[in-house]
Amino acid sequence: MSGDASKQTSNIGRRRAAALGDGRVEYLGRRRAIVQAASDVFKERGFRATTLGHIAEALGVDRASLYYYYSSKEEIFHEIVKDTVQINIAAAEAIRDADLPAPAKLRRLIEDMMRSYGEHYPVLYVLIQENLNHVAPKHSEWAREMKRINRAYESVVIEIVQTGMDEGSLRATAPAWLVAYGIIGIVGWTNRWFNPDETAVGADEIGAAFADMVLDGVVNSGVDGDTAAR
């Protein structure tokens, strides 16, 4: 990079930091618009095949103007997923810690998971489709944090299932981790076909249907039906 180009990049970085620090409403609104457009492009093309040029094209602007808001496509991707996954793990942990029987926790968890996919579409689907093992080395710390959060979420689901098996409300016909991964997979697979603006049924209805399907298969027949009520 030439000295002039390096100086220009540094100046843009300072302007970006100043705008973020000031919390300018218009600036933050534009960043949100970029994130939303980028989410759609990432979902369509995949992270590695997407360039800033593709994102700029989706927004109808030139690529250079994006640098005032984000330094790279990686920074945009990080912004897309970080807040949502933190919210989801906090919600899952709250469900796990609630004073409810395991079947009721599972129902709430499944419905909440699907609702989040709809509310934050297509943010979580982008993360599902991205292989965090293949991110650039300079972003490996971020990837490790995302993996940690993913494992924490999986652990919450496994814990709920295992508790239900231990207390006898859920059938212990397979290891708890296998049941948990199956539940996560059922909801995650909706990335192949669900779009809240196009799909005939909404996220809440899908979540309720999935919860019924799962609970019909794992709840012990002798358990009071109220333990799995909505």
The whole-angstrom separation of Cα 148 and Cα 64 is 34
Which of 37-41, 68-72, 98-102, 127-131 holds the top average pLDDT? Answer: 98-102
Contacts of 12 (CB under 8 A, 6+ apart): 67, 68
User: Are the C-beta atoms of 205 and 194 separated by less than 8 Å?
Assistant: no
Kindly tell me if the per-residue pLDDT of 7 is higher than 50. no
Kindly tell me if the per-residue pLDDT of 215 is higher than 90. yes
pLDDT of residue 135: 60
Domain limits for position 62: 3-71
pLDDT of residue 95: 98
Kindly tell me if the per-residue pLDDT of 80 is higher than 90. no
| Residue 153 in tokens | 């979420």
Q: Which burial class, exposed, middle or buried, applies to 155 when counting CB atoms under 10 A from its CB (0-12, 13-18, 19+)?
A: middle
> What percent of the chain clears pLDDT 90, i.e. is strictly above it?
49
Is residue 8 domain-shared with residue 90, that is, in the same domain?
no
pLDDT of residue 228: 55
* Tens of pLDDT, residues 96-120: 999 999 999 999 999 999 999 999 8
Q: What is the four-CA torsion angle of 40, 41, 42, 45, rounded to 10 degrees?
A: 130
Answer with the residue of higher pLDDT: 3 or 31: 31
Boundary residue ending a domain (29, 48, 71)? 71
Is residue 105 domain-shared with residue 205, that is, in the same domain?
yes
Which of 2-6, 68-72, 151-155 holds the top average pLDDT? Answer: 151-155
Is residue 147 domain-shared with residue 64, that is, in the same domain?
no
Is residue 198 domain-shared with residue 93, that is, in the same domain?
yes
Kindly tell me if the per-residue pLDDT of 154 is higher than 60. yes
